[in-house]
Each structure stands twice: as structure tokens, then as C-alpha cells.
């Protein structure tokens, strides 16, 4: 169970009478195509650009970040589970936004790291009720760009998979690679790995 701060809890409790304004912040760290260096960019489903302090999903420490608004973001639900199921989040944004074009064309978003934070805004002050907390840490699996027909809307979709859990499903080819093992001081552990399964050794012989 996730621990939430008192201000967030109070906003949820009073939501029936006062209402709530939920917002999500998405922070993408990808590779800059021109320099090859990591670069980060933030977007959120608010109407204006904002600079806000969030709790980093990587370090757990406060981090001041800038997020671009007016992105026409649509995001699927984030399923909370207690098992090792690989969770997926689909993020859609308008492709006419300059920032959206920069994300997918200026950056190489393949396997880009993504942090998603949630927060509630006060219906009275229009200010955050607490520090945004992380609800999802993942990486971009695919990022298709849909080119619309004349007169229709197009969008960019980032398919994001949970980072830590998806790593558990990946195989390491070096475990059975003779060439890879050989680099470790001449280790020949995997020399016969590809053929040993077909050997027929009579009982009692060498």
C-alpha cells in the first residue's frame, strides 16, 4: 500500500463536496539525436507551462522540473498490482504540438525512460495540494506516429511498459554464448553448449 501525505488525503476526503482536479506529469529522458547525449523533457495535462518540484521516481529526492502544457494529452489508466505482471500505459498527444514533434523527432525515444507523477490541484486556489508523487516508472516500447487524412486529427502514441518488471522478462544471450564466456580469461564453459544436447553417451563409458 502506498503512503500518501495528509494534504492529499484531505483533498480526497473533501472531494465529494469541493471536487478535485487530478493532473498527471510525464517526464521523458531520451537520447538527443544531434548530440547523442541524454536529454529530458516534461509534459503534463494542464493548460500552461509549469515548473514544479516532484519526488524523483529514481532517487526518491525532491527535483524541480519544467513541464509543457496544452499538449492535449490522453492517458490510459495505471493498474496497481501486487504481482510481476508487466504493466502498460498508453500516452497520446497531439502531433501538431511543437513539443510533441521535438520528443519523437528531435529525440530517439526508443527505450527512453519515463516517469509519471500524479497530483491534485485545489479547486479553490488552483494550486497543488502537495508534492506530486511517482505512480509509474517505465520505458518507451513503441512510438508510432499516425499521419491523418485531410481534415482529420493525427496523434503520437507512446506505448510505455513498466521498467523493473519488464527487465525480468529479458534473456541474457551471454549465459550460453561460448564467444562471450571465452573473453573471461579463456573460460570454455560454453564450448559444447550448442551440441551437448544431442550427445549419446552409453552408460558406463567415457
pLDDT in tens, 143-192: 888 777 777 777 899 999 987 766 666 666 666 577 777 877 888 877 88
Residue 169's pLDDT is what?
A: 66
Same domain as 41, residue 81: yes
Same domain as 156, residue 123: yes
Lowest model confidence (mean pLDDT) among 34-43, 106-115, 155-164: 155-164
206 within some domain: no
Residue 195's pLDDT is what?
A: 83
151 within some domain: yes
Same domain as 100, residue 21: yes
45 within some domain: yes
The total domain count for the chain is 2
Q: Between 166 and 60, whose confidence is greater?
A: 60
Residue written as cell 482536479? 21
∠ CA 192-197-200, rounded to 5°: 100
Percent of the chain with pLDDT over 70: 92
Q: What is the mean pLDDT of residues 78-95?
A: 83
Same domain as 177, residue 163: no
Same domain as 90, residue 133: yes
Residue 68's pLDDT is what?
A: 96
Same domain as 192, residue 159: no
Same domain as 191, residue 134: no
Same domain as 182, residue 87: no
Sheet with strand 107-121: strands edge to edge: 38-44, 21-32, 107-121, 133-142, 155-162, 88-94, 74-75
Domain range for 192 is 173-198
66 within some domain: yes
203 within some domain: no
Q: How far apart are CA 140 and CA 143, in angstroms?
A: 7
Question: Using 50, 70 and 90 to split pLDDT, how confident is the model at 205?
Answer: low
Same domain as 135, residue 193: no
pTM of the predicted structure, to 2 decimals: 0.78
Same domain as 113, residue 95: yes
Q: How far apart are CA 21 and CA 28, in angstroms?
A: 23
Amino acid at each position: 500500500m502506498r503512503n500518501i501525505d495528509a494534504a492529499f488525503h484531505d483533498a480526497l476526503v473533501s472531494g465529494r463536496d469541493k471536487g478535485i482536479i487530478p493532473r498527471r506529469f510525464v517526464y521523458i529522458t531520451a537520447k538527443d539525436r544531434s548530440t547523442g547525449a541524454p536529454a529530458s523533457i516534461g509534459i503534463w495535462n494542464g493548460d500552461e507551462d509549469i515548473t514544479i518540484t516532484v519526488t524523483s521516481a529514481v532517487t526518491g529526492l525532491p527535483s524541480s522540473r519544467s513541464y509543457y502544457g496544452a499538449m492535449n494529452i490522453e492517458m490510459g489508466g495505471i493498474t496497481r498490482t501486487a504481482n510481476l505482471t508487466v504493466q502498460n500505459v498508453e500516452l497520446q498527444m497531439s502531433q501538431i504540438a511543437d513539443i510533441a514533434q521535438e520528443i519523437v523527432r528531435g529525440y530517439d525515444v526508443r527505450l527512453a525512460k519515463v516517469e509519471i507523477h500524479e497530483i491534485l490541484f485545489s479547486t479553490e486556489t488552483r494550486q497543488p495540494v502537495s508534492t506530486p508523487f511517482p505512480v509509474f516508472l517505465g520505458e518507451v516500447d513503441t512510438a508510432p506516429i499516425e499521419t491523418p487524412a485531410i481534415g482529420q486529427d493525427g496523434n503520437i502514441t507512446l506505448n510505455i511498459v513498466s521498467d523493473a518488471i519488464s527487465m525480468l522478462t529479458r534473456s541474457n544471450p551471454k549465459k550460453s554464448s561460448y564467444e562471450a564466456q571465452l573473453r573471461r580469461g579463456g573460460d570454455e564453459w560454453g564450448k559444447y553448449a550448442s551440441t551437448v544436447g544431442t550427445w549419446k553417451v552409453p552408460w558406463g563409458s567415457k
